[in-house]
Amino acid sequence: MSLDADALVDRRRMRRKLSFWRGAAFILVALVVIAGIAYAAGFAGIGKRSAHIARLSIDGVILENRDQLKLIEKISKAKAVKGVILSINSPGGSTTGGEALYDALRKLAEKKPLVAEIRTVGASAGYMIALSADHIVARYNSITGSIGVLFQFGNIAKLMETLGVQMDAVKSAPLKAEPDFYTPTSPEARAMLKTLVMDSYDWFVNLVAERRGLSVEEARSRADGQIYTGHNALDLKLIDAIGGEDAAISWLETERSVAKDLPVINWSVDEDQDGLPLASSMSQSLGEGFAKGLTGSLGAAKGLIPRGLTLDGLVSVWQAPEAADENP
């Protein structure tokens, strides 16, 4: 008899637990669905439906990013956006990535007042994209400039010789796949790369001249690869004013007739989920958690690759010198 009583008690406990988890699961699903429907209806982005200034942040290394380009196009079509602050904190990146971003931003500037704010650093391709704006501000001690193009490659021929490894190749022409990492770079290959770099460099210089109202000679004199503080850049006419976001907003209000005291709202690729009609902050967080776990593993592996080898093609990037080890 006691065994039956114990079994009955256990059964009731199991039923309570099962009911609890069923209820919790139902509530969780309901929250996701409700949040998704609200997002699709526009409630999640209600702030972006009223007049505001859009802040578009460009941080880190610049690469060609299709999602970012789509976001810029979306901002250009948003009627509620009355002006755009391009907030830059980037040492540069690939030249083609900078070019694609610059072109998209120029199209945006044709529809919306665009001002660039260089924060800690806006150098190389970071400065290139600042040129897309009709007004550039930077802090007194912001780092900018580094106007130029770089093509880096390594060679481990001596190491392979030490290890007793020999590489060979059959080519359709002497310059095919040059330079490689296992033979000394030929004068012909070096000349080819020089032509490639200088062609891209001339394009960059002409862009600076055109956008900053300088002669090509003046632009070239500033494009020797050196970096400048915001103060130096102002003297060289590479930027228009010293200041931060407040100065950028003031310019929009006084020079582009943007209404005063409009809120500044972030526009970012991470928040732009219109491709998923029922996306909600909860479901997005779950996806981001998985993605971060995956990219964290990949990032650890990528850390084994030297920094100069992680960008393909021509590079326009300022590489901050690493601190030297101090002897005790």
* CA dist., res. 96 & res. 84, Å (int): 23
**Residues with catalytic annotation?**
124, 176
Contacts of 145 (CB under 8 A, 6+ apart): 123, 127, 222, 226, 227, 228, 232, 233, 238
Show the 3-state SS of 3-72: HHHHHHHHHHHHHHHHHHHHHHHHHHHHHHHHHHHHHHHCCCCHHHHCCEEEEEEEECCECCCHHHHHHH
Structure token digits, residue 157? 């021929």
Q: Burial level of 64, CB count in 10 A (0-12/13-18/19+)?
A: middle
DSSP 261-284: TPPEEEE-TTT--TTSTT--HHHH
Contacts of 267 (CB under 8 A, 6+ apart): 48, 54, 55, 56, 71, 74, 75
Cβ-contact 127, 238 below 8 angstroms: yes
* CA dist., res. 198 & res. 177, Å (int): 20
Query: Measuring CA to CA, how many Å separate 283 from each of 21, 36, 278?
Result: 19, 9, 9
* CA dist., res. 97 & res. 30, Å (int): 42
Cβ-contact 58, 268 below 8 angstroms: no
Residue given tokens 């650093």 in the structure block: 121
* CA dist., res. 54 & res. 97, Å (int): 22
